[in-house]
Amino acid sequence: MFSYFYHQKLRKSVAIFGSLFNSIYVLRKNSSGGTISQVKVPLSYAPKNKYLERIRENPNLDTDTTLALKLPRMSFEITSFQYDAERRLPKLNNFMRYTDELNGNKAERFFTPAPYLINFQLNVYTKTQDDALQIVEQILPYFNPQYTITVKPFESFQDIKEDIPITIMSTSFSDDFEGALEARRTIIYTLDFEMRVAFYGPIDDLNIIRSATSEVDLIKDDSNAKAATIIVEPNPIDLDPYDVSADSDYGFSTTITEVGGVG
């Protein structure tokens, strides 16, 4: 029943979500308002607990140049995904097109995709409140509450595009401060998002039926004798039935050939 296919839809969804937040910067200013430095905030796919453990184990992340992990930074991960029954369409709906342009006897077809909801969590880690506010304020205005990206779901169907809405569901804040006053402080903003994704099945290769032939047997004088052959073909036969510019009411030609003079 199942056959191999791979549209990389889940992998592309992760890449699409991460690409939204890979150009966020933090500016450091002096008391007179002049810019001292501009820092691009690193982004990676990783669980929140992994970064918290790393931060707590290394209290000198900001001053030790031998360590790769420094603040501010961001991480994101998939927290869950589930079937979206509200976007369900009839399973037998399909899309079909020609693939053999020379003789028009081949086609490709895929059926209605399965709608799913993928939940992402974006975590912002900073040492100061000002850094955190700069990052969050560069994100929130774009989600009101939804941001839509247009993508091409298939490599072989470049003319097909689909919209993927990403909705912000909630935001939360925590100040991970434990121990003495001189201990390291980590400010964490957590933003939860929901992405509406459609998972497509395999693309089938089909042969297009260009003519139909039937043999009609008539019973006469208690004998089963083939009386005629009926051939039905589209008129004209080379018309593309999936060409939207063509007249859909093209009709058919029927040829009846009598056999053995039976009447």
pLDDT one-digit tens code per residue, 186-213: 789 999 999 999 999 888 887 766 666 6
Task: Clarify whether residues 98 and 218 are in a common domain.
Answer: no
Q: Are residues 26 and 125 in the same domain?
A: yes
Helices (runs of H) and strands (runs of E) counted in the chain: 3, 14
Assigned domain for 4 exists: no
Cα–Cα distances in angstroms (integers) from residue 95 to residues 83, 144, 166, 263, in the given order: 22, 33, 25, 45
Contact 39, 111 (CB under 8 A): no
110 and 68: one domain? yes
Higher-pLDDT residue of 240, 5: 5
Q: Are residues 150 and 244 in the same domain?
A: no
Domain count, the chain: 2
138 pLDDT tier (thresholds 50, 70, 90): very high
80 and 128 part of one domain: yes
Buried b (16+ CB within 10 A) or exposed e, 96-128: eeeeeeeebeebbebbbbbbbbbebbbbbbbbe
Pick from 205, 224, 241: which residue ends a domain?
Answer: 205
pLDDT tens for each residue of 226-240: 666 777 766 665 655
Same domain, 149 and 247: no
Taking the whole predicted model, whether its pTM rises above 0.75 is answered as no
Q: What percent of the chain has pLDDT over 70?
A: 68
Residues 109 and 200 in one domain: yes
Say if residue 63 is in the same domain as residue 150: yes
Question: Whole-angstrom Cα distance, residue 55 to residue 50?
Answer: 9
Residues with Cβ within 8 Å of residue 241, at least 6 apart in sequence: 208, 234
How big is the CA angle at 180 (ends 175 and 186), to the nearest 5 degrees? Answer: 25
- Tell me, what's the pLDDT at 3? 80
One domain for residues 117 and 103: yes
Domain, as residue range, for 242: 209-258
- For residues 108 and 213, membership in a common domain is answered with no
